[in-house]
Amino acid sequence: MALITKAIKGTKDVLPREVHKNQYIEGTALDIAERFGYKEIRTPVFEHTELFQRGVGDTTDVVQKEMYSFDDKGGRNITLRPEGTAGAARSFLENGLSNEALPQKVCYLTSCYRYEKPQAGRLREFHQFGVECFGTASPLADAEIIAMAKALFDELGVKDLELQLNSIGCPECRAKYNEALKEYFTGHKDELCDTCKERLDRNPMRILDCKSPVDSKIGEGAPVILDYLCDDCQQHFDRVKEYLTAQNIEYTINPRIVRGLDYYTKTVFEFVSDSIGAQGTVCGGGRYDGLIEELGGQPTPSLGFGMGLERLMLLMEAQGCEFPEAAAPDLFIVALGEKATLKAVDIAKDMRAEGFSCLYDLNGRSLRAQMKYADKLGAKYTIVIGDNEVDEGVAKLKDMKNGTETELALATFVSGYYSITLSEQLADLEINGEELDFNSLFGLGNNQN
Ligand code: ATP
Ligand code: MG
């Protein structure tokens, strides 16, 4: 077979047989978000290129090297979003969310596009779970979003992540720090990569985020921002640490974290794993007090994080985390002959209306082949309907797990199905590994009257 064309390098299909894993992670993320008061925001996959130049920063790797930008047929310069914050911030301003009660807490599950060298944990189209909290300067909020990321990892059973924490100060402390950095890196100017030579004047802190091995090595000897924090930033940082400790969240201070986007201020953090190779940062985030103003709004201190879903999946697989099983059909109706098929269609309609997943054969298979097919689909129950069953109005519902068969009237099939399957499910119910005792649960046999 000759394919017309293959998928674009650095992209990945998620197939039906594995998509339940993604759905599980995404569903859990939204559930955790809700517990912390975050509501989903959905923004377009593309924006004006200028938004990212301003919002992400034009000295960053993302803007300088990684964006998918193009002119549309109307001559607009457009970019596929490389990250979620800038679009969310634009929407916050454009739609007047800034006039509503603050903070506004939003989250998203989105695709992002970056022209990077594809490798394990690094794709050109990848997906993020991101959260943004617009309009609070409180260190409580910094600790809260970190706690939220941690709550998601805990809920998914991910272990051994190191929370690395740093503060990169505000423009005031950064000015002094940049001077010190400039002086340090100027001493190594000839060894720096071309991009960083240019950054030396415009934004020396960016050099610390450079992926080139030579530049990273030089960066190791550079002055650290923590020695330059102003009183306000130092106090904020101390509070964040205090609030984390109050929640038993362990962290290590890593003064080398500066984050790849220009808009960060004060708190920055990453959750890092050593189980998934070189691309170990699963989640990165921090405070970006200057961004909303940069985009034309009122000063609005804000913060957020982005979590790479492909890296999270890699990590969960590497650690053998449990995933729920893929959903299986509740019922497969094996129908033989035209009359039986019409009956099957009718029953399936009622079953589906009640919320059950109910299937029948579409390809004219034999009885044996239909049973085999039902088995392959993992159907929980099957029923065989032929001319006899239609004439007599009864058929046998078979539990595929234990082979038990129960006769059911076709005229009242759905209610019959309910009563059998519900009692089986109740018998299977456990809470914390303990079988439920229904008599005591409902106060039966314990009547106080
Ligand atoms: P890195 O240092 O690995 O390039 P980054 O600092 O560029 O990461 P962010 O912009 O902070 O990453 O994005 C947040 C998260 O999104 C990252 O921690 C990572 O989990 C994920 N991520 C970033 N780029 C990619 C990519 N190309 N492929 C897959 N996941 C990615
Ligand atoms: Mg990157």
Q: What is the pLDDT of residues 292-315, one digit of tens each?
A: 999 999 999 999 999 999 999 999
Alpha-carbon separation of residue 73 from 45, 67, 70, 78 (angstroms): 17, 19, 10, 11
pLDDT value at 177 more than 60: yes
Q: Which atom of ligand 1 is nearest to the CA of 118?
A: 27
Are 162 and 176 a contacting pair, CB within 8 Å? Answer: no
pLDDT value at 161 more than 50: yes
Task: Identify the nearest ligand to the CA of 308 by its number.
Answer: 1
Q: What is the mean predicted confidence (pLDDT) over 221-229?
A: 95
Task: Give distance in angstroms: CA of 117 to centre of ligand 1.
Answer: 12
**Residue 449 tokens, joined:** 């009257």
**Mean pLDDT lowest for which of 33-42, 192-201, 351-360, 396-405?**
192-201
**Residue where the block lists tokens 């596009």:** 113
Among 289, 282, 218, 304, smallest CA distance to 256 is for 218
Q: What is the mean predicted confidence (pLDDT) over 112-127?
A: 97
Alpha-carbon separation of residue 379 from 155, 350, 357, 399 (angstroms): 29, 17, 9, 9
DSSP category for residue 295: T
Task: Give distance in angstroms: CA of 139 to centre of ligand 1.
Answer: 24
Q: Helix, strand or coil for residue 330?
A: coil
Task: Give distance in angstroms: CA of 292 to centre of ligand 1.
Answer: 22
pLDDT of residue 449: 43
**Mean pLDDT lowest for which of 43-47, 208-212, 295-299, 312-316?**
208-212
282 lines ligand 1 (CB under 6 A): yes
Q: What is the mean predicted confidence (pLDDT) over 231-246?
A: 98
pLDDT of residue 423: 77
The closest residue, in CA terms, to atom 13 on ligand 1 is 306
Q: What percent of the chain has pLDDT over 70?
A: 96
Q: What is the mean predicted confidence (pLDDT) over 54-80?
A: 94
pLDDT value at 448 more than 50: no
Q: How confident is the model at residue 2 (pLDDT cuts 50, 70, 90)?
A: confident
Between CA 53 and CA 7 the distance in angstroms is: 29
66 lines ligand 1 (CB under 6 A): no
pLDDT of residue 209: 85
Cis before 103? omega within 30? yes
128 lines ligand 1 (CB under 6 A): yes
pLDDT value at 445 more than 60: no
243 lines ligand 1 (CB under 6 A): no
Q: What is the mean predicted confidence (pLDDT) over 169-187?
A: 93
pLDDT of residue 1: 72
126 lines ligand 1 (CB under 6 A): yes
Q: Rounded mean pLDDT of the chain?
A: 94
What's the one-letter identity of residue 137? A
Other CB atoms within a 10 A radius of the CB of residue 108 amount to: 22
pLDDT value at 447 more than 50: no
310 lines ligand 1 (CB under 6 A): yes
Task: Identify the nearest ligand to the CA of 122 by its number.
Answer: 1
Q: What is the mean predicted confidence (pLDDT) over 418-442?
A: 73
pLDDT of residue 440: 59
* Helix intervals (H) in 44-170: 49-55, 61, 85-94, 139-156
260 lines ligand 1 (CB under 6 A): yes
pTM, rounded to two decimals:
0.92
What is the enclosing helix (H) or strand (E) of 360? strand 358-360
